[in-house]
């Protein structure tokens, strides 16, 4: 028999060492061929343990990252029933979530503050399922925890075109079967402000020569634009009226039960004016009958109580208007030109 024939008749050739025993390599190969399924199970189990460990360890960071990347938009804010140390709030907000995860967030207590300053109040944010656009509604009585901070907030709202409001708190996040995570909720919200009530004007008025029992001797309407999403109840608001650029006070104007709604507001006004002083000014300094007036907030009273946070905000802004007093005087039979002795 040839060597070729012998070789063809062999099933396989085993490697043997000097001692005639099989080496480690052949034994390992044989073991793997026989127990491949066991090694596959071990590999899968190890991989799952490793991956799950990484996910569970990383998930808190992923959760916080997604919370940081979410957005908060206040769609409407209604402040009503104000007292010196509280108010009722109905606030509708939208939480934007660009993450592929849509977790549930537990209800939590959140602080409200002006652009990183001391919190002025705390509200209860309701439980929410953080879809791409999730709507939340806060409807509660709110206690003012820092009057100075809340006053600063109202001054900022009245004076500025935009206002930054900080909303902060801690809540629990739930996603599928992952462990519950505690996340920090810290959002800066930019809202439209009242922008110094730009556009404020007295749209019409009439003079009454015979004052009403409360002293009212001028009535009319005031136009106040509100470019914000806020509805604000301020009670009876009173303004001091001055001859422009002077300290000559000519009277007061009251807006009863003032509530500013988003958009354009036309509000009845009642004024107690020193008509003798006004007439003197017209005859001596403003003979064209056009009287420039500065209007400064004086008081805000709701249900018999002064609201200092509104009063200081109103006092921080001066409105400049010009009233055609000459025309109003003519309407009641008084012609300034004839009184001054000048030609009609």
pLDDT attached to residue 1: 42
pLDDT attached to residue 23: 59
Q: What is the pLDDT of residues 135-192, one digit of tens each?
A: 999 999 999 999 999 999 999 999 999 999 999 999 999 987 777 889 999 999 999 9
The mean of the pLDDT values for the chain is: 88
Which residues have a Cβ under 8 Å from the Cβ of 297 and sit 6 or more positions away?
A: 237, 238, 239, 240, 311, 313, 314, 315, 316, 317
pLDDT attached to residue 178: 76
Q: What is the pLDDT of residues 6-65, one digit of tens each?
A: 444 444 445 445 555 555 667 656 655 665 666 567 667 656 655 555 556 666 788 888
Token pair of 74 as six digits:
């206040």
Q: What is the pLDDT of residues 219-261, one digit of tens each?
A: 999 999 999 999 999 999 999 999 999 999 999 999 999 999 9
Q: What is the pLDDT of residues 308-330, one digit of tens each?
A: 999 999 999 999 999 999 999 99
Q: Delineate the domains of the chain, giving CATH numbers in brackets.
A: 68-193 (2.60.40), 196-339 (2.60.40)
Q: What is the pLDDT of residues 256-275, one digit of tens each?
A: 999 999 999 999 999 999 99
For the chain, give the number of residues. 344
Question: What gap in Å lies between CA 310 and CA 316, rounded to an integer?
Answer: 10
Lowest mean pLDDT among 19-23, 63-67, 128-132, 203-207: 19-23
Q: Which pLDDT band, with edges at 50, 70 and 90, does 343 fall under?
A: very low
Provide φ and ψ at 335, rounded to 5°.
-105, 110
Question: What gap in Å lies between CA 237 and CA 219, rounded to an integer?
Answer: 15
DSSP 274-323: -HHHHHHHHHHT-TTSEEEEEEEEEEEEETTEE-HHHHHHHHT-EEEEEE
Angle at 322 between CA 321 and CA 325, to 5 degrees: 140
The DSSP call for residue 148 is H
**Residue 287: which of 320, 236, 329, 254 has the closest Cα?**
329
Angle at 21 between CA 17 and CA 26, to 5 degrees: 80
Token pair of 49 as six digits:
């343990």
Would you say residue 344 has pLDDT above 60?
no
Angle at 130 between CA 127 and CA 136, to 5 degrees: 50
């Amino acid at each position: 028999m040839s060597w070729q024939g012998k070789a063809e008749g062999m099933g396989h050739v085993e490697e043997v060492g000097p001692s005639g025993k099989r080496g480690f390599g052949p034994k390992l190969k044989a073991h793997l061929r026989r127990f491949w399924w066991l090694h596959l199970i071990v590999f899968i189990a190890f991989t799952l343990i490793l991956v799950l460990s990484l996910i569970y360890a990383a998930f808190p960071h992923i959760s916080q990252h997604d919370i940081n990347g979410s957005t908060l938009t206040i769609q409407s804010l209604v402040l009503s029933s104000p007292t010196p140390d509280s108010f009722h709030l109905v606030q509708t907000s939208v939480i934007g979530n660009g993450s592929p995860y849509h977790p549930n967030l537990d209800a939590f207590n959140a602080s409200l503050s002006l652009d990183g300053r001391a919190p002025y109040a705390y509200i209860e944010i309701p439980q929410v399922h953080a879809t791409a656009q999730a709507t939340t509604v806060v409807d509660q009585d709110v206690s003012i925890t820092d009057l100075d901070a809340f006053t600063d907030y109202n001054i900022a709202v009245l004076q500025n075109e935009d206002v930054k409001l900080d909303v902060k708190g801690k809540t629990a996040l739930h996603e599928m079967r992952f462990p519950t995570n505690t996340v920090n909720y810290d959002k800066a919200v930019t809202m439209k402000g009242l922008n110094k009530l730009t556009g404020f004007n007295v749209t019409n008025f009439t003079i009454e020569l015979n004052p009403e029992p409360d002293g009212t001797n001028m009535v009319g309407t005031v136009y106040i634009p509100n470019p914000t999403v806020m509805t604000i109840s301020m009670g009876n608001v009173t303004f001091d009226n001055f001859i422009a650029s002077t300290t000559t006070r000519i009277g007061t104007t009251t807006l009863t039960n003032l509530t500013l709604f988003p958009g354009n507001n036309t509000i009845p006004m009642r004024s107690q004016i020193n008509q003798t002083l006004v007439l003197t000014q017209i005859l001596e300094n403003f003979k064209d009958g056009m009287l420039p007036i500065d209007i400064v907030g004086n008081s805000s009273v709701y249900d018999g109580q002064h609201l200092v946070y509104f009063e200081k905000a109103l006092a921080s802004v001066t409105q400049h208007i010009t009233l055609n007093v000459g025309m109003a005087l003519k309407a009641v039979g008084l012609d300034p030109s004839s009184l001054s002795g000048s030609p009609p």
